[in-house]
Structure 1
Amino acid sequence: MFDGHTRRVVSMWFPRLASDRVLRARPVDAPFALTLKRDNTERLHCLNARAGALGLHRGMTFADARAFCPDLQSAPASPVQDARFLTALCRWATRYCPWAGLDGVDGLALDVTGSTHLWGGEAAMLDDMRARAGRAGLTLRLGLADTRGGAWALAHHGEGIAPPRSGLEGIGDLPVEALRLEDETVTGLQRLGLRRIADLAATPRAPLARRFGRQVLTRLDQALGDQPEAIDPFPDPPHYGVRLTFPEPIGLVADVMAGTARLLDALCARLRTNGAGARVLQLTLRRVDRGSGQVELRLASAMHNPERILPLFERGVAGVEAGFGIDQMRLEATGTEPLPVQQAGVVLRGTDGRGGRRLDDLITRIGTRIGLENVRRFLPADSHIPERAFLIAPAAWSRPEGPWVSLRPRPLRLFPPEPVAGTGPHPPERLRWRRMTLDIARATGPERIAPEWWLDDDAWRSGLRDYWRVETRQGRRLWLFHTPQVPGWFVQGEFA
């Protein structure tokens, strides 16, 4: 019978984690593999079952794989996204027990001691894991034993359940590579005839330690339970929320702002401790009639300075109906960003300084009225095409970049090309534009701009453009261009 005090560990191994993640979003009914560049060579990183059945294997060069399997479909691997996906699976695994942690780059370790009866026993719990993983399109292999090492060995080389306190009997018939040893060490043990864990356990320990080092004995002791091995649980994300309850209801704006100041002090102290800054703050004011009013503050930059944040709440707090009074306040940072520590009083090159802080506060105030996404700024772009030489981005999620570099002056105002009458490669002496007759006094140019052939832009299909800067006697300073291949003149901009 199972002793509730005996430790039980489950090892969840996802042998095709990377390929399963990609195929969940884009199923492929063909041999499929993810490739990763190593040693300046594209190699197979992870492949599906159909590719493995054709003899392809991980680490094989992509060129050899295509020679063996011309129908092989591939995509670039993303270890970063794989790690995020495994982290999400770790959170999902806490439905079976509260103590779950990562085990390598494609596995999880769960301490299910005392929780298996909630699922009808150990076998029923593993069946539920397989069923849920199968419905999610994931390949899963499981092992359950008294130790983390024993469970890992079963998941990778046996996939089964070792009886409680079975020790060597539960994993003795598994190969020595099930002890998580290096490939060179496994090869050396096999040359000595030590192919099973039971063979290794029966060998004198001193000669093994002298020849292979301490790692072999450490892994053996961990698998048998003679040496402890902890499971590091995945930490819960920090929660940034504080609450304040009043003995008597309040209703004045000044009192609410005073309470908000107290909440901000506590919340910002927690943010600074974790090196984070708030981007979205939610203030909830609960009334005595159990109704509530909310004030959402979206900041233009991550902050953890209560003195800067507090004045930004004034407009929202003044618009909340207090009713018969407010008896509870709650402040929560629903959106945060990492905010590294900076030395006080020192403005480093490339930072905004105090002027940048004032600009962020101004953007926040305007954003509370019209929305942060509607406050935008121009950013330089690497293109010699006038229309593509800049980007428009939300100011709250971008930083000023520059400098704006241009070998030739550019007009302050740009608009779609507008045709004007004229012939020849030089600007006409007189032109009519926007119902105005303009006499050209001086022209500077031409500046030839060629289309960017790698972009499909309908506006530049006509080919080359020769740009001229012209000054008119009426005071207009225009930017004209001529298209040599299809003769014609156009106005595209106006200088200040």
Structure 2
Amino acid sequence: MFDGMNRRIVCMWFPRLATDRVLRAYPVDGPFALTLRHDNSERLYCLNAHAEQAGLHRDMSLADARAFCPDLLCRPARPDLDVRFLAVLRRWALRWCPWVGNDGADGLVLDISGAAHLWGGEAALLANMHTRLGKAGLAVRLGLGCTRGAAWARAHYGTQEQALDELPVAALRLDNATCIALQRLGLRSIADVSGAARAPLARRFGPHLLQRLDQAFGHIPEPIAPATEPPHYGVRLTLPDPIGLVADVMAATARLLDTLCAKLHAQGAGARQLVLTLRRVDQGSQQVELRLAAAMRAPARILPLFERGVATVDAGFGIDQLRLEATLVEPLAAQQTGLSAAPQSPDRLADLITRIGTRIGLENVQRFLPADSHIPERSFLIAPAAHSAPESGWRSGKSRPLRLFAPEVIVATGSTPPARFRWRRVAFATARAIGPERIAPEWWLDDATWRSGMRDYWCVHTHQGRRLWLFYTPQNPGWYVQGEFA
């Protein structure tokens, strides 16, 4: 027998974790469910107690659910937020014991060995868990056992007083197909499986069934791996005497930056967003937020960017504590410095974008990016420079004008291209023309400006010195100007 039988394991199962998360912020008195799209149809993902009492169940189509329960309120599910919420619950559960790990997508497992006496015994500890989680608006089922498998079985299929042998075979954490096959053989409970011959079970169901059985009874150890805490990128400095000058605050910020950037370098990360909190002696606080155009961890580059925000801070009677935290962190790979000892020069463009962004906002500093389309209007994208990388150039092999605007009608006479035309009340004469370049509309997109059909584009050099981009529409004869070359 495995000597870890002295261990005491608690399994927390949150059967309505997703809906409880939403209903904590938006209470609903009635049937409520979260939906998730699966196989081209909306299906129920998680339900509250009222919806289950109305006869609804998980994986039911939304159309059938509304037919059964017209009063059903729905919202789209967010599994990513459920994962974050479970991580918050895991950190909160550290109040009961220091060994807490995740148990699937909707549960936690706690090793309370040696910690139950701090709460007055196991019964008092479980009662405390029920009370606190209930006050938090969370439905929970608790299971206690000497093994993780036994605790999981009681949390999902039994009670604390029920013996493990009395529980159904599904309590062994088996898949549905295995459970159905066992029931067809007459093995409906754990006692039936444990009393059957092991060799035939192993030949038919493989080693997984016997492994789960031995784990539940403690014959095979099953470790509990607590989730590792994510690195915390925050540093604090408490001053013996209050300060108020900008130079003093910047000097203290420099000390914090050195420590924070060392943490970032050790984790191979860089900061994209920093928050400097300045606490005054009157317990008031002010924050200076810095958003960077690229991930950085060089104190010499980051420190000057704080100066503008620090200068606007009202120090009052003095600042006695500073706290610097990197609220948004991205991986930052090590850079090759070359054979020489001199490091690479800093990214001056990122620093410039950051400086301008602190004044007008990073989203307002934009750049043009090439797009995969032969339509002139769709051949580029406009994206924030801080959240996009520059590309080498446009993929089109044809020359395109530097200035592009909406098509403007011209009055043209003569051959193709026109020898003379009038645009914006100015008369032009064609000196040389290059073309035509025929561009057909993208049939899979409904674009009102291209409903006239294909276009024949010409690069026209005029005697007046301007190079214009003209096109002709054969289906609906007419000449237009859409751009001008530099």
Counterpart position of 2:71:
none
Runs of 5+ consecutive residues of structure 1 not aligned to the other structure: 37-41, 72-79, 134-140, 164-168, 348-352
1:382 to 1:95, Cα distance in 2 relative to 1, 3 A:
same
Q: Distance in 2 between matches of 1:470 and 1:280?
A: 49
The answer to whether the 8 Å contact 1:44/1:57 transfers is no
Q: Paired residue for 2:160, among 156, 159, 162? A: 162
- The question of 1:268 aligning with 2:261 is answered yes
Whole-angstrom CA distance in 1 between matches of 2:267 and 2:467: 55
Pair 1:450 & 2:448 matched = no
Residues 182-214 of structure 1 show CA distances to partners (whole Å, capped at 9, x for unaligned) of: 789878977987553224445688998899887
Does residue 481 (structure 1) correspond to residue 482 (structure 2)? The answer is no
**Distance verdict in 2 for CA 1:470–1:87, change over 3 Å:** same
Q: Residue 145 of structure 1 corresponds to which residue in structure 2?
A: 144
Report the equivalent of 1:304: 297
Q: Distance in 2 between matches of 1:44 and 1:391?
A: 33
Q: CA deviation at 1:29?
A: 11
* 1:350 paired residue number: none
Q: Which amino acid aligns with 2:259?
A: A
Q: Equivalences for 1:404-443 in 2 at 5 Å?
A: 404-422=394-412, 426-443=416-433
1:247 pairs with one of 232, 237, 240 = 240
The answer (yes or no) to whether the contact 1:9–1:145 under 8 Å persists in 2 is: yes
Alignment pair present for 1:278 and 2:265: no
Pair 7,371 (structure 1): closer, same or farther in 2 beyond 3 Å:
same
- CA drift of 1:387 comes to 1.0
* 2:431 and 2:461 in contact (8 A); partners too: yes
Q: CA shift at 1:91, angstroms?
A: 2.4
Q: Secondary structure at the match of 2:308?
A: helix
2:7 touches 2:111 (CA, 8 Å); kept in 1?
A: no
* TM-score scaled by length of structure 2: 0.75
CA distance in structure 2 between the aligned counterparts of 1:355 and 1:463, rounded to whole angstroms: 51
- CA deviation after TM superposition for structure 1 residue 298, in Å: 1.2
Q: CA shift at 1:425, angstroms?
A: 6.6
What letter matches 1:484 in structure 2? P
Q: CA deviation at 1:397?
A: 0.5
For the residue of structure 1 that corresponds to 2:354, the secondary structure is helix
Distance 2:31 2:294 in 1: 42
Q: CA RMSD in A?
A: 4.7
Matches within 5 A, 1:61-72: none
1:220 and 2:221 are equivalent in the alignment: no
d(CA) in 1 for partners of 2:464, 2:484 = 13
Q: Could you say if the C-alpha distance between residues 411 and 210 of structure 1 is closer, same or farther in structure 2, counting changes exceeding 3 Å?
A: closer
- The one-letter code of the counterpart of 1:144 is G
* C-alpha separation in 2, matches of 1:369 and 1:11: 49
Q: 1:33 to 1:272 in 2, by over 3 A?
A: closer
Aligned counterpart in structure 1 of residue 390 of structure 2, from 374, 390, 400: 400
Counterpart selection for 1:173 from 154, 166, 181: 166
Question: Conserved in 2, the CA contact under 8 Å of 1:16 and 1:47?
Answer: no
- Structure 1 position 238, deviation (Å): 3.0
Alpha-carbon offset, residue 360 of structure 1? 0.6
Q: Which amino acid aligns with 1:335?
A: L
| 1:308 aligned counterpart, secondary structure | helix
Aligned pairs (5 A) from 1:312-351: 312-345=305-338
Q: 1:420 to 1:355 in 2, by over 3 A?
A: farther
| Bigger shift: residues 333-342 or 353-362 | 353-362
1:75 paired residue number = none
Q: Secondary structure at the match of 1:422?
A: strand
Tell me if structure 2 keeps the 8 A contact 1:280–1:336. Answer: yes
The equivalent residue for 2:88 is 91
Q: For 2:350, which of 346, 355, 360 is the aligned residue?
A: 360
Inter-CA distance 465–16: structure 2 relative to 1 (3 Å threshold): farther
Q: In structure 1, what is the Cα distance between the partners aligned to 2:8 and 2:244?
A: 56
- Which residue does the alignment assign to 2:109? 109
Return the offset for 1:123.
6.9
Structure 2 segments unaligned to the other structure (5+ residues): 1-5, 68-76
- 2-side partners of 1:395 and 1:415: how far apart? 22
Candidates 450, 463, 467, aligned match of 1:460: 450
Structure 1 residues 19-30: aligned runs within 5 Å: none
Normalized against structure 1, the TM-score is what?
0.73
Give the corresponding residue for 1:470.
460
Letter in 2 for 1:326: I
Separation in structure 1 between the aligned mates of residue 79 and residue 282 of structure 2, nearest angstrom: 49
Q: Distance in 2 between matches of 1:253 and 1:437?
A: 61
| Mapped partners of 1:494, 1:466: distance in 2 | 16
Could you list the per-position Cα deviations for residues 286-312 of structure 1 after superposition, in whole angstroms to 9, with x for gaps in the alignment?
344544443222111011121221222
Deviation at 1:494, TM superposition (A): 0.5
| Structure 2 counterpart of 1:162, one-letter code | Q
Code of the aligned partner of 1:12: W
User: Partner amino acid for 2:355?
Assistant: R
